[in-house]
């Protein structure tokens, strides 16, 4: 009986330990860089971009946007050497956030602010 009660308490505590918006937004930028570097087109195009940004990136709309995005990502050169150097604290305002990050691509440091939007409960890139 004690074990069952302890397990229920532990599960309740763990359930309340989900990420917070700031951490989740920052993780989205990390995941974005990893998916880009690894050419993980499924994650990049289907999980990390808002629908609107996906259509802008791919130049296609609707269902064709994802397939076009995947083709575009696979055709990019030099992305396997992209590296995240520094990530700043996310600034969250409701369902929008911004994260400043420094990445290195082809030997050049790029300091960029990434705009994110919460879509379907997840933080996704909405632009840079």
pTM, rounded to two decimals: 0.79
Q: Could you tell me the pLDDT band of residue 127, with boundaries at 50, 70 and 90? A: confident
Per residue in 3-42, pLDDT (tens digit) is 333 333 333 333 334 469 999 999 999 999 999 999 999 9
From CA 65, how far away is CA 67, in angstroms rounded? 6
Classify residue 27 as exposed, middle or buried by CB count within 10 Å of its CB (0-12, 13-18, 19+).
middle
- For residue 111, the enclosing domain spans 19-127
8 lies in some domain: no
Can you read off the two tokens belonging to residue 80? 């396997």
- CATH number at 26 reads 3.10.450.50
Residue 86 tokens, joined: 């520094």
Q: Is residue 11 part of a domain?
A: no
In the chain, the number of structural domains is: 1
Residue 100 lies in a domain: yes
Report if residue 58 sits inside a domain. yes
- Which of 109, 101, 96 has its CA nearest to residue 31? 101
pLDDT digits (tens, 9 = 90+) for 43-66: 999 999 999 999 988 889 888 999
Q: In this structure, is residue 59 part of a structural domain?
A: yes
């Amino acid at each position: 009986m004690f074990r069952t009660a302890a397990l229920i308490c532990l599960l309740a505590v763990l359930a309340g330990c989900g990420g917070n918006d700031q951490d989740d937004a920052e993780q989205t930028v990390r995941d974005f860089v990893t998916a880009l570097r690894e050419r993980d087109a499924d994650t990049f195009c289907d999980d990390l971009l808002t629908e609107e940004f996906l259509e802008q990136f791919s130049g296609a709309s609707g269902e064709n946007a994802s397939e076009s995005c995947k083709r575009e990502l696979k055709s990019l050169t030099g992305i396997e050497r992209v590296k995240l150097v520094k990530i700043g604290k996310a600034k969250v305002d409701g369902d929008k956030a911004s994260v400043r990050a420094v990445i290195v691509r082809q030997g050049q440091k790029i300091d960029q602010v990434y705009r994110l939007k919460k879509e379907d409960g997840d933080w996704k890139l909405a632009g840079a």
